[in-house]
Structure 1
Amino acid sequence: MLGPAVLASCVAQLAMRPTFVTFGDSITQRGFAPGWTGQLADAYQRRVDVLNRGYNGYNTRWALQLLDRVFPNNTAAPPPRLVTIFFGANDAALPDRGSARQHVPVEEYASNLRAMVAHLRSIGVPAVILITPPPISEPDRLVHVEKTYGVRLAVPERTNEAAGQYAAAAEAVAQELGVPCLNLWRAFQEVPGWQQGLLNDGLHLTQEGNAEVYHLLQALIDERFPELRVSRIPQDAPDHSAIDPQDVPVAFEKHFAKQQRRHETEAAQQAARSPSREEL
């Protein structure tokens, strides 16, 4: 039997607008300009607050230093309902070329992903998705470096082969830990003309590339976490068409009463499935 304190805590958390957090490198940081994180936020408007926590240039080694700040475990606020972890493009920079300072060995990369998932689980995040680095268009990386920095390289600082190794490592970690994985390295290369159609500098995403990430991610959310589908998360206030100008409070009372019943049902199910934080 559930204790009243546990049930009340679950109801209180569900009554707040839930959050999704996108945690990653520059491909995530640029996701609102416009990009895949912006499209995710648009799809869940008035239902979920989508928080972008992207850090340009970061690898998993550096990102580990942010875990406790981005995802604190000493707060009264409920944990995010969903977190995406999207690193690897910088980890995969080759150790003997121009971006060597960002390189992280693939074994350490996998270990860092495990540590991130473990931390998120320890604070009660119920849904985690790993996203692999995208493929690399090596000729376009050479062009980008020359145009941006005035440096003509004989070989690129990143290769598609290396990116594929890190994508495989992320996918293996996801399978090991039982979390979904969106393998962009594989999915992008199935799109004809992906080199310029989905990537704008051999690495970062075009508008079409951002749209592709959003659609693939939304499909994965819908498949693996059906309770987080847009249609399953109610809006946090009544629609304006339900408000009677002559008796404004009625629509709000009905909406919040319906929400409360739904939250109580979900809270009971959630508390029955998982131990409380105090028990972890």
Structure 2
Amino acid sequence: MRPKIYIFGDSITEESFGGGGWGALLAHHFSRTADVVLRGYSGYNTRWALKVLDKVFPAAGGSDDAPLAITVFFGANDACLPDRCSAFQHVPLHEYKQNLHSIISTFKKRWPKTQILLISPPPIDEDARLKFPYVDNPMGMPERTNEAAGAYAKACVSVAAECGFPVVDLWTKMQRFPDWGKACLRDGLHLTQTGNRIVFDEVIMKLRDVGLSLESLPVDLPLISDIDPSNPLKSFEN
């Protein structure tokens, strides 16, 4: 059986198997070497993610059951402001950091050799958030700000450093692109195809840095180029 790569996060992960999504790009990239397994939950924060870990992921089995890698992509909902219309999703910054530590600790106890990759929340286009509300917004103010998202992104990067794991600082990376609010975000929060491509490229680079690449992973069955046309079935004997 092929090894697995889990992608775990909120709606930006849940939507990632759509057309041009970063999860779909990962699945295509590793199509003959690993199964990319989607575990995305729209609207979830790290507090809720901790509550469902045992329901979402299998219990530890043998070493062969351990996934190659897990991406942990939370923070966009934690960073909702506590006095705005999505306050029920808000998680204080200090708790967000603690929750990330707890999620990582759970995975490392279950699968000590699995590589964990953190992804920070993206930047926020506040004007666009006012145009695409997901809940009633009687205050007429964005439920997220780019400043708050930046604080949670910085905390995510800090947790990764404390734990010794790679991280994609999406908040910083995305804002280097011209007109990033429209180019990378379709509603001030969720990703366009350009934004998805940025996430994919960064994830591939970080995984390669820790030794997970197409070159390092075996294909699960013979490639057509390796099959002898004069005796095709011989290739499947070993």
Q: Does the pair score TM above 0.5?
A: yes
Task: Report if the CA contact (8 A) 1:142-1:152 is conserved.
Answer: no
Structure 2 counterpart of 1:181: 167
Deviation at 1:155, TM superposition (A): 1.7
Structure 2 counterpart of 1:193: 179
Q: How far apart, in 2, do the equivalents of 1:155 and 1:237 lie?
A: 55
Structure 2 counterpart of 1:83: 70
Counterpart selection for 2:41 from 50, 55, 66: 55
Q: How far apart, in 2, do the equivalents of 1:194 and 1:93 lie?
A: 20
CA RMSD of superposed structures (Å): 1.6
Any gaps of 5 or more consecutive residues in structure 2? Answer: none
Q: How far apart, in 2, do the equivalents of 1:78 and 1:108 lie?
A: 31
Where 1:50 maps in the other structure, the secondary structure is strand
- Describe the superposition over 1:174-215 as per-residue Cα deviations: whole angstroms up to 9, x where unpaired: 000000110000000111110000000000000111011101
Structure 2 counterpart of 1:140: 128
Residue identity over aligned pairs, in percent, reads 46
Counterpart selection for 1:127 from 83, 90, 115: 115
Task: Report if the CA contact (8 A) 1:83-1:127 is conserved.
Answer: yes
How many equivalent pairs are there?
235
Where 1:195 maps in the other structure, the secondary structure is helix
Task: Report if the CA contact (8 A) 1:138-1:158 is conserved.
Answer: yes
Structure 2 counterpart of 1:234: 218
Deviation at 1:27, TM superposition (A): 0.0
Deviation at 1:252, TM superposition (A): 2.1
Structure 1 counterpart of 2:7: 22
Q: How far apart, in 2, do the equivalents of 1:40 and 1:74 lie?
A: 24
Task: Report if the CA contact (8 A) 1:133-1:167 is conserved.
Answer: yes
Structure 2 counterpart of 1:109: 96
Structure 2 counterpart of 1:266: none
Any gaps of 5 or more consecutive residues in structure 1? Answer: 1-15, 257-280
Q: How far apart, in 2, do the equivalents of 1:217 and 1:208 lie?
A: 14
Structure 2 counterpart of 1:5: none
Structure 2 counterpart of 1:270: none
Larger Rg: 1
Counterpart selection for 2:151 from 156, 165, 175: 165
Give the structure with the larger helix fraction.
1
Over 3 Å counting, the alpha-carbon distance change for 1:74 and 1:150 in structure 2 is closer
Query: TM-score, normalised to structure 1's length?
Result: 0.80
